[in-house]
Amino acid sequence: MKQFRVNPGARHLLRLAVVGTVAGLSACSQPSVTLKDPQSGTLVACKASDLAGGGITSRSVVDQLMTRCVDDYTNRGYIIVASTQP
């Protein structure tokens, strides 16, 4: 098998491109839930991309954070008005 030598600078740029692409693709498929306070009309959103801090986070952690966010608002009387799932 032939081995290729890659310039260290080019390797770093390639790594950044791959991480950026993966992060971009995963952000497109993140769930979000919009909730509304029926008394004031205030809208809030629980977005997986915001809860995960923009980094690469496991699906189970994101699910737990989303559940906690939605539960916090529904316990305060908010109702779910929209939901998107990947």
Residue 13, pLDDT score = 42
Residue 20, pLDDT score = 40
45 secondary structure, DSSP code? E
Residue 62, pLDDT score = 81
With a CB cutoff of 8 Å and minimum separation 6, the contacts of 56 are 19, 22, 23, 26
Residue 53, pLDDT score = 63
> pLDDT tens digit string along 26-85?
445 678 999 999 999 999 999 887 766 656 667 888 888 889 999 999 999 999 999 998
